Structure formats: structure tokens, C-alpha cells
């Protein structure tokens, strides 16, 4: 399951990995109906998740 990490990664590969991790974290918090904190405009902002479907 774990993929071998190449010794050298390009900045675009790193960016893609970070974006994928962020997407997975947001999906997980949404699925579990949890809030999530993010960094926005130089401040920590907590986004509330509501279960109203």
C-alpha cells in the first residue's frame, strides 16, 4: 500500500501531494460531521460542519 518515495520530487509533485492530502482531510471531516480549522488570510479559521443533509 505504501508507495516508494523518490529521492527527488519536483515542486509540482509536492504541490499535488499536498492538495490530495488536503482534499482527503476535508472529505474525512465532512463524512464524520466534524469542524475543521484552516489557515486563511493570515488567521486560523474554523469551518463548522452541520449534519443537515
Q: How much is the average pLDDT of 8-21? A: 91
Q: Measure the CA–CA gap between 42 and 53, rounded to whole angstroms.
A: 31
With cut-offs at 50, 70 and 90, classify the pLDDT of residue 43. very high
C-alpha distances in Å from residue 37, one per residue of 11, 24, 25, 50: 25, 14, 11, 14
With cut-offs at 50, 70 and 90, classify the pLDDT of residue 3. confident
Q: Is the pLDDT of residue 45 over 70?
A: yes
Q: What is the mean pLDDT of the chain?
A: 85
pTM for the model: 0.62
Amino acid at each position: 500500500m505504501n508507495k516508494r518515495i523518490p529521492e527527488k520530487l519536483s515542486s509540482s509533485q509536492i504541490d499535488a501531494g499536498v492538495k490530495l492530502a488536503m482534499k482527503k482531510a476535508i472529505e474525512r471531516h465532512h463524512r464524520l460531521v466534524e469542524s475543521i480549522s484552516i489557515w486563511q488570510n493570515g488567521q486560523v479559521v474554523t469551518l463548522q460542519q452541520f449534519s443537515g443533509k
